[in-house]
Chains A and B, each alone.
Chain A
Amino acid sequence: MRIYEYLNVFKRIDYLLLIPVIILIFWGVINIYSASINEYPSLYLKQLIIGSIGIFLMLVISSVDYKKIVNTAPYIYVAVVVLLFLVLIAGDVILGAKRWIKVGGFAVQPSEFSKIAVILLSAFYLSDKRYPISIFDAVVVFVIALIPSILTLIQPDLGTAITILIPAIFIVFLFGINKKYILLVFVISFLLSPLIWKNLKDYQKERIIAFLNPENDPLGSAYHIIQSKIAIGSGELTGKGFLEGTQSKLYFLPEQHTDFIFATIGEEWGFLASILIVTVYLFISLRILTWGNRVKESSGKVICFGVASLLLFQAFVNISMTLGMAPVVGITLPFLSYGGSSLLTFSILIGIVLSVISTFKKEKVHF
C-alpha cells in the first residue's frame, strides 16, 4: 500500500516543470565550470553537489502535503527574521556588505531564504481568505514582506530587498486588490524616492548613475556593465564556444560565475542559446502561473503566484543588468548563478510548487 502511494507521488509530479528546472541546474554547473575554472578550480563541484541536494529536496518536498509546510510558516518566518538580525550583528563582511552568516561551517545568506518565508507566511495568512481580499489583508501581506526586505536593505543589499517585495505585489494584485491601490503605492514610492536616494550607500548611488550613463566612467562603476555588454555582444549568433570566451576567462568580466553568469553564457554560446534560456524561464513561470490559476485552494494559489512572479522577475532583472538595462544590483540568476543559498531557495520553492500541483491532482482524483 505504501509503495503504491509512493509510486503515485512520482506519477503526480509535473515533469514539464521539474525537467526544465533540472536542465537549468546542470546548465549552470557547466557554465560555472567555464567561468571559474581558471580562478577557483573546485567551484563547479560545489555547485554540482548543492544542485544535486536541491533536486533531492525538490522531490522530497513535492511528496509532502504543502498544507503541512504552510502551517509551519510562522516558525520559519520567525527563524529567518532572527537570522537576518544575526547577520546584521555578527555577519561576515564580503564585498563591503554583511550578507552571510556561518551556519555549521557553511556561509548562508538568510536574505535568500527569507523569500521562502515571505511566500509561505503570505500563503498561511491568506489560506482562509476569499477573493477579493480586503485592503487590510493586502497591507498585512506587504508588512510580511517589508520586515525581511528592510532588514536586507540595511545589510546593504538593495537587489535582494527588492526581490523579496516582488511576490507580495503580485500576490496582492492577483488576489483582487484594485489596480488603483497598486498604482497608489507606486506613486507614493516615487514621491519617497528622494528619501530613499538619501539613504542609499554611496556605491549604490554610483551604480545607479553608472547605469544611467555608463560611458561616463568606463573604468569605475560602469565597468561591470560595459564589460558584460562587450562579452555578450561579442558572442554573436552562435558564440565563441565552450571555454573559449575571452572576456570572462581573462578577468575582464567581474563576478562572471555569480551575478554575471549570463554574460559568460552569452559570450560562449551566443544569441541562440541565450534566447533559449530566456524562453525556459518564461516557460517555467507561465507553467506555475497556469497551475496557480487551476488550483482551488487559496494558500496553494498564493504559493504559485508568488514563486512564478519571483522567478521571472528575478531572472528578468538579472539578465537586464548584464545587458545594461537595469542598474547593477546584486541579485542572482535563478538556478544558473553560483551560490548555494540562492540555488537551495529556488529548489525548495519549486519543490513546494510541485507539492501544490501534486496535492491538487490527488484531491481531484479523490473527489
Chain B
Amino acid sequence: MNEKKIRFITILFLFLTAVIVFRLLYFQVIERDRYLSYIKRQYFSKERIILPRGIIYDRNKKILSISINTLKLYAIPKYIPHEKRVLLADYLSKIIKVSKYKLIRKLNSKRGYVVLAENIDRNLKDRLNELRTELKVWNFGIIETSKRYYPYKSLAGTTIGFVRKDTGKGASAIEYMLNKKLGGGFIEVPFLKDAKGNPLNFEINVKDKIKNNLNAVLTIDSNIQFIAEETLKKLVKLRKPKEAAILLIDPFTGDIIAAATYPNYDPNRYWKYRNHRNIIFHNAYEIGSLAKPFILAEAIDEGYLRNLRKVYCEKGKIIIDGVRIKDHKKFKYLSPEEVIIKSSNIGTIKIALNLDYSSIYKKLKELGFGKSTRTFPGEASGILKEDLRPVNVAYASIGQSWTATILQVAVAYSAIANGGFLVKPRIVKEFIDSEGKVVEKIRIKLKKKVLSEKSVKWLRETLKRVVEEGTAKSGRSDYFSIAGKTGTAQKYDPKIRALSTEKFYTWFAGYFPADNPRLTVVIFVNEPQKIKKWEFIGGGTVSAPVLKELVDRIMYYYKQKPDKNLAKN
C-alpha cells in the first residue's frame, strides 16, 4: 500500500481539524466581545424587578419600614398599531389616573421600550390584564416589582436608613446593616427579540427568587422617638444650630429607645437629600464638662477625695505648662460636689493633676470612650489618646482635646444610672419570621463593672443636685427627678487657630427618674445661636431647657406617677 498517500490523508485530516480549532479560537477567545455585544443588541431592554424585603418593626411591633408591591407598566410602541395606541391611552388613563396625552406622547415615542407608569397600586393588576387581553395589545405589559415604604416618613429617618430604589438593597443605617437578614435586592429581566424581531414576553415568577426573608424588631419606641423629635424640633427652631441630637437609651439593657437627629431626612424620598449621616453614631465631638464626673469618680477610687474638703479655684484663672485655662466664673473655694454642680474647670483640673495620669485615661477607656460600640454601620470610635503632659491631662479632664460619639456618652452615663456597669448598646431586639415567631434574639450584654459602688453613690447624689440647683437648673422638672450634667466644649476655630469663643458644642447627659432610672438621655447641640446678646452659651442654657418637657412627656407616656412631692412646689 502507498504509505505516502496515507500520510497525505492524515495530514489533510490534521489540517482540517486545525482550521476548525483556529476558527473557534478566533470566535470564542479573540473576537468574543464582538459576539457578546451582538447579544446585547438583541435585547430591547433589561428591566429590574425589585424584590421585597423583610419588615422593620419598632419595639411595639409598629411598622417602620415595609416593602409594598407595586406595578410598573411598559410598552414596546413599535409593535403597537397607531389606532390601538389611542385606545390604550384612553382606557389606561382612566384606570391609573394619568393624563391621556402624556401616555399618548410616550406611546408615540420612537424608542424601542418605554415605561408608561411606575408605582401603580397592585390591586389594579387584574383590570390592567383585562385591558391587555381585551385590546389585544400584547406589547403593553405589567411588571410586578416592589417599593420600600416608610409609613412614619422622616421619623427616625437617619437611624432606619433607606433602601435604594434601583437596587432594592439597604444603602444606609439599619437598612444597610440588616441587608443579609431582610433580603431584597433585584433581579434583571431581559426583554428580548425573537428570531423574527418580535418582542418576547414571558411571565416571571418572582416568588421563586425570594429567599426566606426575616423581619427585624428594633429597640426603638416610635412614640418616644416622636416625642424626642418634637423636642428636638423645638430646640432647633429656637437655636438654629448646625447639628443637634437627642438620644435615649435604656441604662440597664443598652436598648436604644429613641435616636433623633438634626439634620434628618425622609427615607421615602432619600434621593432628595444629600446628607444621610446620623450624627449620633457617625460623628465624634468633644464632650466638655461631661467628662468631669468621671474624673471625680477616679478621684474617689484613688481615695483622693477622702481628705479633700475644699479646692481653691484660683479665681477663674490657672496656668499649666505656660497655657492659661479659664473658668466661666471666678470661683474661690469649692467642695468636690460643688466642682461638679457648678462645673468648675479649674477645680476639676486641680483634682485631676493630683491623680495618676494614666489611670485617668484608663478610666475613660473603661467607660467605653475611644472605641466604637459596633452597634451601627460606620460608627465612629472617637479619638482618645493617652498624653501624659500635665496640660493635656488638664484639657482631657474637662473634656477638651478628645472626642466621643453621642452614643458613647449615653453608655458612660448609663453606667452611673445602672450601678456602675458598662452596657453594650442594642438597636435590633430580635428577628421574627413571617408568622411572628422569634427566630433569633439579640442578647443583652452587660459588660464588666467600671465604676465602684462608692463613686456611683457619690455621682448619683451629686448629679441630682446639678439639675436641682446647679448648671442644669433650667432643665429641672416639677414632677420628675432628673440627674445629669451639662457640658460645653469650645470648638477649635481654624480661622483664629485657637478655641473659639463663639462656637460651641453644648451638651446635657443624664438619666431619669434620678432615684430609679428608666432612661439615659443625651441632648447635643452643635453651634447653637444666641437668642439674646448678653446670653451666655452653654449646656445649661441651650441643652437643659428642653429637658423638662422631654422627661415629663416620656414619663407620662410610660404612665408613671410623679416621683416628686408636688405639695412642696
Contacts of B197 in A (CB 8 A): 219
- Report Cα–Cα, A271/B30, bound state, in Å: 11
B36 contacts A271, C-beta separation under 8 Å: no
B1-47: which residues lie under 8 A (CB-CB) from chain A? Answer: 1-3, 5-6, 9-10, 13-14, 16-17, 19-21, 23-25, 27-29, 31-32, 34-36, 38-39, 42
Q: State whether A234 and B195 are in contact (beta carbons under 8 Å apart), knowing that A174-B9, A176-B2 are contacts in the complex.
A: no
Q: How far is the CB of A168 from the nearest CB of chain B, in Å?
A: 14
| In the complex, A252 has a CB within 8 A of chain B | yes
| In the complex, A330 has a CB within 8 A of chain B | no
| In the complex, A275 has a CB within 8 A of chain B | yes
The residue in chain B whose Cβ has the minimal distance to the Cβ of A176 is: B2
- Report Cα–Cα, A269/B17, bound state, in Å: 19
A323 contacts B20, C-beta separation under 8 Å: yes
B27 contacts A323, C-beta separation under 8 Å: yes
Q: How far is the CB of B21 from the nearest CB of chain A, in Å?
A: 5
A293 contacts B13, C-beta separation under 8 Å: no
Task: Identify the stretch in A6-14, A40-48, A243-251 within 8 Å (CB) of chain B at 4 or more residues.
Answer: A243-251
Main SS class of interface, B: helix
When each residue 91-121 of chain A gets 1 if its CB lies under 8 Å from chain B and 0 otherwise, what string results?
A: 0000000000000000000000000000000
A250 contacts B24, C-beta separation under 8 Å: no
Q: State whether A286 and B5 are in contact (beta carbons under 8 Å apart), knowing that A232-B24, A251-B194, A325-B19 are contacts in the complex.
A: no
- Report Cα–Cα, A320/B17, bound state, in Å: 10
Neighbour of B9 across the interface among A170, A223, A226, A252, CB < 8 A: A170
Neighbour of B27 across the interface among A170, A229, A316, A320, CB < 8 A: A229
A174 contacts B36, C-beta separation under 8 Å: no
| In the complex, B200 has a CB within 8 A of chain A | yes
| In the complex, B192 has a CB within 8 A of chain A | yes
| In the complex, A158 has a CB within 8 A of chain B | no
When each residue 190-213 of chain B gets 1 if its CB lies under 8 Å from chain A and 0 otherwise, what string results?
A: 101011110010000000000000
A232 contacts B10, C-beta separation under 8 Å: no
B24 contacts A281, C-beta separation under 8 Å: no
A233 contacts B195, C-beta separation under 8 Å: no
B31 contacts A320, C-beta separation under 8 Å: no
Contacts of B194 in A (CB 8 A): 250-252
Q: How far is the CB of B197 from the nearest CB of chain A, in Å?
A: 7
The residue in chain A whose Cβ has the minimal distance to the Cβ of B35 is: A233
B183-232: which residues lie under 8 A (CB-CB) from chain A? Answer: 190, 192, 194-197, 200
- Report Cα–Cα, A226/B35, bound state, in Å: 10
B195 contacts A230, C-beta separation under 8 Å: no
- Report Cα–Cα, A246/B32, bound state, in Å: 15
Q: How far is the CB of B468 from the nearest CB of chain A, in Å?
A: 74
Q: How far is the CB of A314 from the nearest CB of chain B, in Å?
A: 11
A289 contacts B10, C-beta separation under 8 Å: yes
A173 contacts B27, C-beta separation under 8 Å: no
Contacts of A170 in B (CB 8 A): 9
Contacts of A286 in B (CB 8 A): 10, 13
Q: How far is the CB of A304 from the nearest CB of chain B, in Å?
A: 11
Contacts of A266 in B (CB 8 A): 24, 27-28
Contacts of A251 in B (CB 8 A): 194-195
- Report Cα–Cα, A219/B196, bound state, in Å: 8
| In the complex, A235 has a CB within 8 A of chain B | yes
A293 contacts B28, C-beta separation under 8 Å: no
Q: How far is the CB of A210 from the nearest CB of chain B, in Å?
A: 15
The residue in chain B whose Cβ has the minimal distance to the Cβ of A233 is: B35
| In the complex, A36 has a CB within 8 A of chain B | no
B35 contacts A230, C-beta separation under 8 Å: yes
- Report Cα–Cα, A274/B21, bound state, in Å: 8
The residue in chain B whose Cβ has the minimal distance to the Cβ of A247 is: B39
Neighbour of B25 across the interface among A250, A271, A309, A316, CB < 8 A: A271
A254 contacts B195, C-beta separation under 8 Å: yes
When each residue 278-289 of chain A gets 1 if its CB lies under 8 Å from chain B and 0 otherwise, what string results?
A: 110110011001
A319 contacts B28, C-beta separation under 8 Å: no
- Report Cα–Cα, A55/B476, bound state, in Å: 97
The residue in chain B whose Cβ has the minimal distance to the Cβ of A285 is: B13
Q: How far is the CB of A211 from the nearest CB of chain B, in Å?
A: 14
| In the complex, A131 has a CB within 8 A of chain B | yes
| In the complex, A90 has a CB within 8 A of chain B | no
| In the complex, A19 has a CB within 8 A of chain B | no
| In the complex, A139 has a CB within 8 A of chain B | no
The residue in chain B whose Cβ has the minimal distance to the Cβ of A292 is: B6
Q: State whether A233 and B21 are in contact (beta carbons under 8 Å apart), knowing that A131-B2, A247-B39, A251-B194 are contacts in the complex.
A: no
| In the complex, A270 has a CB within 8 A of chain B | yes
Which of B1, B29, B38 has the most chain A CB within a 10 Å cutoff? B1
Contacts of A323 in B (CB 8 A): 20, 23-24, 27
B24 contacts A275, C-beta separation under 8 Å: yes
Q: How far is the CB of B35 from the nearest CB of chain A, in Å?
A: 3
Contacts of A69 in B (CB 8 A): none
| In the complex, A237 has a CB within 8 A of chain B | yes
- Report Cα–Cα, A56/B39, bound state, in Å: 42
B17 contacts A282, C-beta separation under 8 Å: yes
| In the complex, A126 has a CB within 8 A of chain B | no
B195 contacts A274, C-beta separation under 8 Å: no
Q: How far is the CB of B359 from the nearest CB of chain A, in Å?
A: 64
- Report Cα–Cα, A234/B6, bound state, in Å: 38
Q: How far is the CB of A181 from the nearest CB of chain B, in Å?
A: 14
- Report Cα–Cα, A312/B17, bound state, in Å: 9
Contacts of A223 in B (CB 8 A): 195
Chain B interface residues (CB < 8 Å from chain A): 1-3, 5-6, 9-10, 13-14, 16-17, 19-21, 23-25, 27-29, 31-32, 34-36, 38-39, 42, 190, 192, 194-197, 200
17 A–B contacts, CB within 8 A, in A order: A131-B1, A132-B2, A174-B9, A219-B196, A233-B35, A234-B36, A237-B29, A250-B192, A266-B28, A278-B24, A286-B10, A301-B1, A313-B16, A316-B16, A316-B19, A320-B20, A323-B20
Chain A interface residues (CB < 8 Å from chain B): 131-132, 170, 173-174, 176, 219, 223, 226-227, 229-230, 232-237, 246-247, 250-252, 254, 266, 270-271, 274-275, 278-279, 281-282, 285-286, 289, 292-293, 301, 305, 308-309, 312-313, 316, 319-320, 323, 325
Closest 3 CB pairs of A and B: A233-B35, A271-B28, A233-B27
